Homo-oligomer: A and B are copies of this chain.
Amino acid sequence: MTIHTPVATSLATPIALQRPHVIEFGAGTAPLAGRWAAGRGFRRILVVADAFNAGRVDVLGLEGEVTVFGTVKPEPDVPNLDEALALAAEVKPDLVIGFGGGSAMDLAKLVAVLPGSGQTLHEVVGPEKVAKKGAALMQVPTTSGTGSEAGTRALVTDPATQNKLAVQSLFMLADIAIIDPALTLTVPSAVTAATGVDAMAHCVEAFTSKKAHPLIDMYALEGVRLVGRFLGRAIADGSDIEARAGLSLASLYGGYCLGPVNTTSGHAVAYPLGTRHHIAHGAANALIFPHTLAYNAPVAPEKTAAILAALGLPASSRQEEVFASAHRYCAELGCEMKLSALKVPEDDLPVMAGEAHAIRRLLDNNPRDLSRDDILAMYRAAY
């Protein structure tokens, strides 16, 4: 078997960066939401939140006519979006605020652009189909994992097919993101571990992608370093605000990696755990992470060693050592590393491998080809 090491992309290769005009980052920044909105003269505000965050909207210090849509569901579906859109049609907000995790922020993006646009959800699915900017948009994340606050993509589940409908538009980029790590202090340790590994996986997969770019590599490697330095601390002591800030920033950098580069095999192999067996996205990624990192090591030896070093682990690019190190790292964070323990039926593994293998938009950018059998071998090794 010949393994080709990909040629590194030159720094001169074109790349597009998309960013909120303003990011307010740091402990205690949440009340800047109200100050910013008042300074810009926004008077009709619609906050899009899950039930937990709907109960603490007052931390944003908003003034004027504030309406809260407080029933965002995890992995929101089209009916959930329609409820939010119906409320927006009544309120006619000049400012929409996403307040929560990726689900709330994704819905807020669509609630900002669809009302009054004459476009339906199905007309804007795909890249850059949204016709124009709608209401102003603010994003206030309350978890560290998705990086959705700085992104242009929104995912909604089609209940008929269980497929994710993906809308991507520069018009859904936030005007301002307020990233206050104090809002993440209440995240329980198991969720902190899973979402932290998810943020790290965004960075690792973009770093080793065929589409990797030296400009994005900086964010990728720094994101991995932040997770290596702070994830263990945040799990051990959830009230460690500096550690929480480190994870908030790692999540943001993971988001920076998703836009122009995106993930590869790790996310592709992990997806069927979520879609077929309802395993949380972060937990699925943590379980798969050592398998794909080790699989890619022969074609990306320097980057693999750099990832391990950034996590604070011994630098290596030998497959067995890479696997053992990464596996131990995730297990020690408290992540479940066995598929059998997550009640995935063993006879479903071949179907899962087929589904993962079909996710070409991710797998085509993996630095090393994966066959359906390669994926099945990973599932069996993880069983």
A: residues with CB less than 8 A from B are 10-29, 170, 173, 181, 215, 218, 222, 241-242, 244-246, 249
Evaluate contact between A21 and B22: CB separation under 8 angstroms. no
Evaluate contact between A28 and B16: CB separation under 8 angstroms. no
Q: Report chain B residues within 8 Å CB of A26.
A: 12-15
With A14-B27, A181-B12 known to touch, is A22 a contact of B170 (CB < 8 Å)?
yes
Evaluate contact between A21 and B249: CB separation under 8 angstroms. no
The answer for the CA separation of A241 and B10 in the assembled complex, in Å, is 9
Evaluate contact between A215 and B19: CB separation under 8 angstroms. no
**Besides A11-B249, A12-B242, 10 other A-B contacts (C-beta < 8 A):** A10-B241, A11-B242, A12-B181, A13-B27, A14-B27, A16-B24, A17-B22, A18-B21, A18-B22, A22-B170
A351 to chain B, nearest CB (A): 41
| Number of copies of this chain that the complex holds | 2
With A218-B222, A222-B218 known to touch, is A23 a contact of B14 (CB < 8 Å)?
no
Cβ contacts A to B, 25 pairs, < 8 Å: A10-B241, A10-B242, A10-B245, A11-B242, A11-B245, A11-B249, A12-B27, A12-B242, A12-B245, A13-B26, A14-B24, A14-B26, A14-B28, A14-B29, A16-B24, A16-B25, A17-B22, A17-B23, A17-B25, A18-B21, A19-B23, A21-B21, A21-B173, A25-B215, A218-B222
A241 to chain B, nearest CB (A): 5
By DSSP majority rule, is chain A's interface helix, strand, loop, or mixed? mixed
Find the B residue at minimum CB distance from A17.
B23
Q: Report chain B residues within 8 Å CB of A222.
A: 218
A238 to chain B, nearest CB (A): 14
Q: Report chain B residues within 8 Å CB of A14.
A: 24-29
A218 to chain B, nearest CB (A): 6
Find the B residue at minimum CB distance from A128.
B39
Q: Report chain B residues within 8 Å CB of A246.
A: 11
Q: Report chain B residues within 8 Å CB of A23.
A: 16-17, 19
The answer for the CA separation of A325 and B173 in the assembled complex, in Å, is 45
Find the B residue at minimum CB distance from A219.
B218
The answer for the CA separation of A56 and B251 in the assembled complex, in Å, is 42
